[in-house]
Amino acid sequence: MVYTDGGACHSGAMGKCQVGLAVISLVAAGCACSETTTSATTAPVTGSSQVEVTTVATTLASSTTAADTTTTAVDTTTTAAAPTSTTELATTTTKASLSLVTTTLPGLETIPSTPDCFPYPSASPDAHETGTASADVDGDGADDKLITYWLGASPGVGDWHLRVELADGGGADIAFPFDPAPAAARVLGAHYLGSIAGSSLPDARAAIFVVTGAGASTSIVSLYRLDGCALVPFMLDSGDPASFPVGAGVMHASHVSCHVAGDMARMDWVGIEANADGTEFTITDTSYSRIGTIIKPIASSIRTEATMPEVPALINCDGVVSP
């Protein structure tokens, strides 16, 4: 530090300086006067051994009748150090709008994710359940609850329902536009059909198997899917609903089984019919898979055998029970 005392400079460890004295002069001659104040201030500097900084400020004062002259030595402190910079920062509040970016890996099948399905019809206290199952039908990795039920004392067209209650809340409900009599509409479970690449993605969704009709010894099984927040039937490429008869009798049988062939998860429907005298049986084997939202035949074959082939379970697909 360097201090001034009566105009003399005393050097400290920081070097030498010369500082002007502050002089205040008051002049009065029976009239108004001005007061001039000169003060010495210093600013921090770097790399200089001699510093002379003088700042002059002038202030108008009220008139005075006395003339006095005052000389004041101003203590001045000079610091040879790095300049100190003071910056007033303006505070700015920015609301950022986040956007979701989705990257699709090439070669993989993707299905749009299911939105939150609210609201959806609440369960009726008059509902009579005919079947329940658990399966992941929205592709989020968690099992959802599947329910079939009917309403009213004597159910008919529009009284039979399929309902899904999603694991993360929300759901969907559909009233069948038909009467499944003499059967009762019943959910059997769900199984994924389609590209194996698609089944490895979070958005892969299983097909729902539902009994939607019956004959003397046959049940009609239809496939449904969750499309966004709506339950809709899968369709064949012919435009008809994807429905398959399964059952067995003395002269006929039909069943379905699920398996993987190549890069596709498939469902095979096998129909067996005897000729008029029961000496020959025609076997039709058609393999189906999901292509987008359509159930399409992938391959088909017809053969004959002299005896009735053994019929396994009417439905042999993981996650699905036989009717």
Return the pLDDT at 222: 98
Q: What does 3-43 look like in DSSP terms, one character per residue?
A: EEETTEEE-BTTB----PPEEEE---SSS----EEEE----
Q: Is the pTM of this model over 0.85?
A: no
117 pLDDT tier (thresholds 50, 70, 90): confident
d(CA 154, CA 150): 9
Please state whether beta strands 69-72 and 144-150 pair in parallel, antiparallel, or not at all (unpaired).
Answer: unpaired
d(CA 21, CA 38): 8
Q: Tell whether 2 and 72 lie within a shared domain.
A: yes
In this predicted structure, the answer to whether residue 204 has a pLDDT above a threshold of 90 is no
Q: Tell whether 218 and 273 lie within a shared domain.
A: yes
Range of the domain at 19: 1-83
Cis peptide before 182 (omega within 30 of 0): yes
**Final residue of a domain: which of 83, 106, 141?**
83
Task: Please list, residue by residue across 252-279, b when 16 or more beta carbons sit within 10 angstroms of its beta carbon and e when fewer do.
Answer: bbbbbbbeeeeebbbbbbbbbebeeeee
Q: Tell whether 217 and 283 lie within a shared domain.
A: yes
Residues 6 or more apart from 42 whose CB is under 8 A from it?
Answer: 19, 51, 53, 76, 77, 78
For residues 233 and 218, the answer to whether their CB atoms sit within 8 Å is: no
Q: Which helix (H) or strand (E) holds 175?
A: strand 171-175
Q: Is 123 among the domain residues?
A: no
The three-class DSSP label of residue 158 is coil
**Final residue of a domain: which of 48, 83, 118?**
83
In this predicted structure, the answer to whether residue 24 has a pLDDT above a threshold of 70 is no
Q: Is 88 among the domain residues?
A: no
How many domains does the chain divide into?
Answer: 2
Q: Tell whether 204 and 257 lie within a shared domain.
A: yes
Q: Tell whether 67 and 173 lie within a shared domain.
A: no
What does the pLDDT look like over 135-192, one tens digit per residue? 999 988 899 999 999 999 899 999 999 999 999 889 999 999 999 999 999 999 999 9
Q: Tell whether 202 and 133 lie within a shared domain.
A: yes
Q: Is 103 among the domain residues?
A: no
203 pLDDT tier (thresholds 50, 70, 90): low
d(CA 237, CA 229): 23
For residues 191 and 268, the answer to whether their CB atoms sit within 8 Å is: no
For residues 219 and 131, the answer to whether their CB atoms sit within 8 Å is: no
Q: Tell whether 296 and 162 lie within a shared domain.
A: yes
Q: Tell whether 77 and 134 lie within a shared domain.
A: no
Return the pLDDT at 41: 40
Between the CA of residue 9 and those of 49, 149, 241, 281, what are the distances in Å?
A: 13, 103, 105, 125
d(CA 316, CA 246): 11
Q: Tell whether 46 and 138 lie within a shared domain.
A: no
Q: Tell whether 19 and 163 lie within a shared domain.
A: no
Q: Tell whether 137 and 76 lie within a shared domain.
A: no
